[in-house]
Amino acid sequence: EVQLVESGGDLVQPGGSLRLSCAASGFAFSGSAMSWVRQAPGKGLEWVSTINGDNDRAYYADSVKGRFTLSRDTSNNTLSLQMNSLRVDDTAVYYCARSSSWDPWGQGTVVTVSS
Amino acid sequence: DVLMTQSPLSLPVTLGQPASISCRSSQSLLHSDGNTYLNWFQQRPGQSPRRLIYRVSNRDSGVPDRFSGSGSGTDFTLKISRVEAEDVGVYFCMQGTHWPPITFGQGTRLEIK
């Protein structure tokens, strides 16, 4: 079964850091483009970052560029999003998705940035 | 950035009746490789998004055939031929032709009248 399971969401103060993980199974993780998409409470979907399947080059939304870093570990099929200098408006459910097909999506992990 | 504009944002529908959602992009989504990277997603209450339609009109496996996608260039439509109770949720269009950034429509909330 193709599956993605996110973890790492938490309550953090503004200016703090958090590392999200996405465990992948059931498909060829190393060759797949992978992305993070977030959804603020009651809002729509916002693309955050994508890592290419062929060269592992990462791309970022302007809103997170310079603060977030996307990487993958093919030895344990894990996608990671390092989030630094967190702001209140980063509060959201963060989903990882296999973006080579935009299927599947994980169940999401909640990040709350508040003092 | 490509702006994706959906309408309507709220869609009350009677069970068994058809529904239609429009998605317009600020520039053509026809890629130089000949494909149009326009997807439709469904997000049921409390669930993660699920892709329904890819490249304008291709239904994903397991998606009922009452769902159909059409369009070209900058103008796209998702149609449900006969709405069922399980179709309640929010529907998003997404473009992957001109990225980064990948951009989504605002979402259309479908409810049963």
Report yes or no: B104 at the A interface, CB cutoff 8 Å: yes
Does B107 sit within 8 Å of A47, measured CB to CB? no
B53 or A53: which carries more pLDDT confidence? B53
- Nearest CB to A102 within list B51, B103, B106: B51
> A75: Cβ–Cβ under 8 A, 6 or more apart, which residues?
none
B110 — phi, psi (to 5°)? Answer: -95, 130
pLDDT digits (tens, 9 = 90+) for A77-90: 999 999 999 999 99
Q: Which of A44, A59, A103 sits opposite B100 (nearest CB)?
A: A59
Rounded to whole angstroms, the Cα distance separating A59 from A100 reads: 14
Q: What is the mean pLDDT of residues A94-107?
A: 95
A26-59 pLDDT tens trace:
999 998 999 999 999 999 999 999 999 888 899 9
Does the pLDDT value for residue B15 go beyond 90? Answer: yes
The pLDDT tens digits for A60-73 are 999 999 999 999 99
